[in-house]
């Protein structure tokens, strides 16, 4: 499985783009729209939730001034960090059709196809 590679031009997508824009981002190499495949996202979320659950149960006892917020914070941080790391490590990209944008639908390139 090609990790973070565009299936069309094999350009490796930046980690930030993969993690921040899993639904739709533009390939730096060929300009086509990509998304992180369902399997990678489900995997990242599942492992993230498991890590969050683990962090909540192993967080230090809530005797500090922050009280109940500590385990919750641990869980959220663990979920966010782990799911992002799994996405970075396993993101399998696929091409998606570009979103329809009426303002840029009439491009010169579309008319050039006739010649
Ligand atoms: Zn590409």
Got the DSSP string for 1-50? --SSB-TTT-PBPPHHHHHH-SS-EE-TTT--EEEE-HHHHHHHHHHHHH
Beta strands across the sheet bearing 25-26? 25-26, 33-36, 93-95
Judge whether residue 42 has pLDDT over 60: yes
Ligand 1 centroid – CA 27 distance (Å): 5
Angle at the Cα of 76 from the Cα atoms of 70 and 80, rounded to 5 degrees: 145
Tens of pLDDT along 54-94?
998 887 666 666 677 888 888 999 999 999 999 999 999 99
Query: Comparing 10-14, 46-50, 65-69, 81-85, which segment has the lowest mean pLDDT?
Result: 65-69
**Mean pLDDT of the chain, nearest integer:** 85
* Stated pTM of the model: 0.71
Ion ligand 1 — residues with CB < 5 Å: 6, 8-9, 11, 27, 29-30
Question: 54 or 109, which is more confident?
Answer: 54
């Amino acid at each position: 499985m090609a990790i973070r590679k565009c299936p069309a031009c094999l350009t490796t997508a930046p980690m930030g783009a993969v993690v921040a824009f899993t639904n739709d981002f533009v390939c730096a190499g060929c300009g086509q729209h990509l998304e992180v495949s369902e399997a990678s996202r489900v995997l990242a979320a599942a492992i993230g939730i498991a890590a969050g659950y683990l962090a909540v149960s192993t967080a230090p006892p809530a005797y500090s001034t922050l009280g109940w917020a500590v385990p919750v914070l641990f869980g959220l941080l663990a979920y966010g960090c782990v799911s992002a790391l799994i996405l970075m490590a396993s993101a399998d990209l696929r091409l998606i059709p570009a979103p329809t944008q009426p303002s840029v639908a009439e491009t010169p390139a579309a008319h050039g196809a006739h010649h």
